[in-house]
Homo-oligomer: A and B are copies of this chain.
């Protein structure tokens, strides 16, 4: 399964693609950032982010897109821009028919490092270790996007598969249950 993680932002929108199958360590396909100048008018910045995301989706054809979930109580000053970049990521993926899932920063940190309170440096280190890289993808927004993709592979993808297996098992056992 190929996952594109998006760490939404107007100035630096992190993007990271990983490839993985259950029970095997995932591998890094690509990571980077889509930048837009903070002095540009907002509508133009949104168009540039859309264009960048369309290029990443076209180039790496992910099976799923994982976007960081935006909260109103995160950083009030930047939440609107972050929400708009996240909205465009969801729009661009859904328009192509690519499934979109969201994960909170706490979920990402917890699934990567075992602690929901891990700082940026710890997340970067864990991303490098999981993907057997000499150092974390740079800048930090690219590493965060890769962390999101890993989180989805482990948490989302895994959970969906476990839920499906449990449902299958339950269906198989049903005829045998005592009256």
A contact residues vs B (CB 8 Å cutoff):
41-44, 46-47, 50, 70-73, 76-77, 79-80, 83-88, 90-91, 93-95, 100
Contact = CB atoms under 8 A, between A and B. Distances in A.
A113 B133 CA distance: 62
Identical chains bound together, number:
2
Interface majority SS (helix, strand, loop, mixed), chain A: helix
Contacts of A83: 79-80, 83-84, 87
Given A47-B91, A72-B72, 14 more contacts: A43-B93, A43-B94, A43-B100, A46-B91, A46-B94, A47-B94, A71-B80, A72-B77, A72-B80, A80-B83, A83-B83, A83-B87, A87-B87, A88-B91
A71 B76 CA distance: 9
A81 to B, nearest CB: 8
Nearest to A72: B76
Contacts of A50: 91, 95
A46 B86 CA distance: 11
A101 to B, nearest CB: 9
A46 B84 CA distance: 11
Nearest to A75: B72
Contact of A80 (B41, B79, B88, B100): B79
A41 B148 CA distance: 20
Contacts of A86: 84
A77 B83 CA distance: 13
Contacts of A77: 72
Contacts of A80: 70-72, 79, 83
A35 B12 CA distance: 32
A86 B83 CA distance: 10
